[in-house]
Amino acid sequence: MLVNLVPEFLATLSAPDPAAAYHEYLDRHRPVLSAYWQNYVLDPESPHAEPIIATALHADRADLRRTLADVDVVAVAEEALRRATEMLEADCPVDLYLMVGVGAANAGELVVAGRGIAFVCLEHFTGRANAQTYGMGLAPELLPLWIAHEVAHTLRYTSPSSRAAMRRLVGELGGSGGAGGGGGYYDPWEIGSRASLAERVVNEETAIPAPQGLHPGFERWGSFG
């Protein structure tokens, strides 16, 4: 399932009180956005979060708005998700979130309550580096490759047929006392202290063929950001 949070984020920028509007947006999608913050930024309840939010709300978004006007990112993402799940023979659901982040990861994977979630932050895919948003300037044409990469990760963590150690670790973090409730939770900091180095290397290596499958001839280094 594709979830497009971009319009809601952009609406916060034109709200009478953008900071309050952003926190309302964060509350509406707290399970996923809190996981994004915790895993790729910092604790959203920390006082250090407010300056990051303020920077994101005051940044120049002309490059993002131009990209949204020129590229049907929803259609691109839906097609990429469809092709990736078919190619990888997905046997469990995967959600894909289109969002605007706060300048952290350009894309990533999450597991919340046992459900695999891939996300892409569009500020990084405008084709123009942006110092105010920390946008990397990746071309929008790279979106399908990153989506496929992250979908491969989520399936490795959540598929009932996965034999990866990462699936077991994700499941353990989703117990009754886990951060994500029952079913499984992806916490790269906690998993980083439990998974072997070999497992972490294999985890990235197994995600590289997915974008190559979507675009044969795609150079491997492109999957490393």
Question: Contact 6/68 with Cβ under 8 angstroms?
Answer: yes
List strand residue ranges (DSSP E) for 58-163, in order: 94-99, 107-112, 115-121, 129-130, 135-136
Residue 219 banded pLDDT, cuts 50, 70, 90: low
At 176 the pLDDT is 38
Which residue in 154, 152, 134, 133 sits closest to 144, CA to CA? 152
Question: Contact 3/98 with Cβ under 8 angstroms?
Answer: yes
Mean pLDDT of 116-133: 97
Please give the model's pTM, rounded to 2 decimal places: 0.90
Question: Contact 138/106 with Cβ under 8 angstroms?
Answer: yes
Higher pLDDT, 171 or 217: 171
> What is the tally of structural domains in the chain?
1
Q: Is the pLDDT of residue 147 over 90?
A: yes
Percent of the chain past pLDDT 90, that is, above it, reads 72
- Average pLDDT of the chain is 90
Question: Contact 94/117 with Cβ under 8 angstroms?
Answer: yes
Residue 5 banded pLDDT, cuts 50, 70, 90: very high
Which residues constitute the domain of residue 181? 2-224
At 155 the pLDDT is 94
- Cβ of 179: how many Cβ atoms within 10 Å? 15
At 180 the pLDDT is 46
Residue 178 banded pLDDT, cuts 50, 70, 90: very low
Beta bridge partners of 120: 98, 107
